[in-house]
Amino acid sequence: MYRRFAEGEVRGRSAIYEGLALGISEDPGVLALIDGLPVARRQPNLLLAAVRFLGGPVEDYPAFREWVTAHWPRLHTTMLERRTQTNEPGRCATLLPVLAGLPQPLALIEVGASAGLCLYPDRYRYRYDNLPPLGPADGPLLACRTAGPVPIPERPPSVVWRAGVDLNPLALTDPHGGSMEWLTP
């Protein structure tokens, strides 16, 4: 699972998570700790998020391993109590051709939107294959490779209203007074 995560999900997106996940995938001691968790709690992104949440090191696998081993009871508890909410804005690149092809303007409702980042398809910049980018010049760039006939739009959709519905919404401010700079592009 950790090798698949490294090679299929974070390679080319997060060198740090790729390195940690590859290290974990080859480390019988850390894998034994993870195997003590319920199956649904063994996810790579949950472990990595919990280590970061608790202030553990993520830049160097030996330091990561040492920290995980030394703090396993606390980390174990955190992984049982918490869950991740993935909200990948990159999904907008696959949705854009459909959204742009609908009658405009659009009203969007995102269900399960932990932060609602997929409610803003009009604010990202897109590059499909080797085509020129489309979207606002100051928007975060989302790159997408296509396969087969894909109706690449000329512009992002026009969105006039948006709302997110989530059973466990995340606050945009840190209740503990910490920095939330990681939320900004």
pLDDT digits (tens, 9 = 90+) for 95-121: 999 999 999 999 998 887 556 788 899
- Which is more confident, 78 or 184? 78
Report CA-CA distances (Å) from 168 to 63, 67, 171: 33, 29, 10
Looking only at the bridges linking them, the beta strands covering 141-144 and 159-165 are: unpaired
Question: What secondary structure letter does DSSP report for 133?
Answer: P
pLDDT band at 125 (very low <50, low <70, confident <90, very high): very high
12: left (phi over 0), alpha (psi -120 to 50) or beta: left
* pLDDT computed for residue 89 by the predictor: 83
CA separation for the pair 127, 129 (Å, rounded)? 6
**Average pLDDT, whole number, for the chain?**
88
Q: Smallest Cα–Cα separation from 169: which of 88, 113, 109, 118?
A: 113
Mean pLDDT value of segment 3-13: 93
* pTM, rounded to two decimals: 0.60
Mean pLDDT value of segment 164-175: 61
